[in-house]
Structure 1
Amino acid sequence: MKTMNAIVQPAYGSAEVLRFEEVERPALGEGEVLVRVHAASVCKGDVHLLTGTPYLLRLAFGLRKPKRRIAGQEMAGTVEAVGPNVTALKPGDEVYGQMPGGAFAEYVCAPADLFVPKPANLTFEQAAAVPISGMTALQGLRDAGQLKPGQKVLINGASGGVGTFAVQIAKALGAEVTAVCSTRHVDKVRSLGADRVIDYTREDFLKGPERYDVTLDLVGNHSPAECRAVLAPKGVFVSSAGSPGGNWIGPIVWMLKVMLAGMFGSQKMTMLMAMPRREDLLSLRSLIEAGKVTPVIERRFALRETAAALGHVAEGHSQGKTVIFV
């Protein structure tokens, strides 16, 4: 029996429930690839799956304990072997992608269509930082926000994992970008290409005279109704703010607030439900290889330090992404 090291999550809770263990290496099935993981990254979704909150998540991921023993969703690595009927990838290919779980391990086994060739100009650690956060930013601006060249966009939460991608993607789409973050992140966000950076500790963007064609809210610290005040008459408010308002009915209340705010006037108010898409991974690779998008990595942890990595992200206010090298 071949084994590997992995981060096992036997229960919901804080990062202390995670265990660094030797487990059986996953078996390769039809249409799947076995990938040697070189790096993974931590997103806010990993924290939600760790704690099992908001509790509605447990309907899909396990009521009393996680269905998947090994955590982690974003990774980059090298194809070790391919199963029957896999033609798009071959052993030795360097890939990156997103999966429902299993990335915090030395090997992953998953359907081949979850992976694409990683950007040639990125390290494995940089590539692992891209999938979920990059796709969320891309889908939020391009699809939900319908952002066009020359339009004005405001990104609330511009220094986080999604926000740092959003600033760069918005510029790549030809928009004029206003970014909102705290004092210690101002210089970094400005270096990503933001035309204007608002330090929320000193200025309330809701009280400014500017009106935006698209607002991408990644924080949820202002109600959707309040955010309408800074939208242009035909503007779009896109919320990807997690679960503000509590772990029981908070997500439902927030969605209702977004829906209700959109029932009046000509402005559009929408929730973003980002989905993994192979074509979007390819689009992100093109943007990265063209030099228009670069992942921002704040901290690096070894695989056996994954609990500390999740604890760091759970604290909030991180800059860019936190990655795990394997």
Structure 2
Amino acid sequence: MILVTGGLGFIGSHTSRALLDMGERCVIGGRTAGRSPDVLATGGQAVVEPMDCTDLDSLLGVGERHDITGIVHLAAAGLGAETPLDELWANTRALFNVLRAAQEWDVARVVLASSIGVYGGAEVAEAYREDVPLPIGSAHLIPAHKKSAEILAGAVSGNTGLDVVSVRIGAIWGPLGRPASPFFGAPQLVHAAVGGNAVPGPLYAEDAIDMCYVRDCGRAIALLQTAEALSHRTYNVGSGRTTTNREVAEALASAVPGRAPGLAEGRRPGTAPGVRLDVDRLRGDTGFQPEYDLDRAVGDYVRWLRAGNPR
């Protein structure tokens, strides 16, 4: 069985769903044992286990109850911690516990969630490639932890033989995601259109980012977990193109006629043009191709929200 930590969360739910659709059996881990999202109707192929990745005994107990053959580590421990140091310590402790459990269980592969944020400050012209030199410093806790996690994971792979792969995930949006993001406008635009509300704060038409619909993101991660062999230790997960707020608004004009929110012209002052994620590695080693273009993604998300789902 494949253990998905954070498997009841946003990306975790869709990754679990994709693995189940591939015929895999899953242990879906979460800090709470609440109701599983509707997207995770499993038909008996999965079991939900409450777990705390910062507690090694709790984590190892899962392996006593189930035959774990692979791990996708998506849990973000320590969110909302009182201090930055607490958050970093919780996430680092969870990382070491997952790697320790993987070694003890002799799993086939561990996939670790990293972030597009690790590229912050990197000097590139058109696309972020996995071999771009990364700046050492990070102004935000998340990319700081993800960079260190990638380094540690690489060292573990090189010295123990454990197959550990880091996935640098781009801007993800869709069902179960937050209705607003500080990094890109698509979630706000869709929620405003469905609710008939104004967008809080100005969104600029030409602001662009590499957006990946969450159903495609989950499938990409599942493909990396189940691939027979991989050629690299790091993979970008994104759409491979940038999408502007204007394009999102145009898709909404078709999906929700008369309700597409207004946008400010141009690009937010002081921002640089969007840079896409190069996903050639992902495509080459797994055959991944996005199934959701922008129009299909917007239509799917609109239907999801109109069915009464709050996010």
Q: Do both proteins adopt the same fold according to a TM-score greater than 0.5, normalized to the shorter chain?
A: no
> Where on the TM-score scale, by shorter chain, does this alignment land: which range?
0.3 to 0.5
Which structure dedicates a bigger proportion of its chain to strand? 1
> TM-score, normalised on structure 1?
0.36
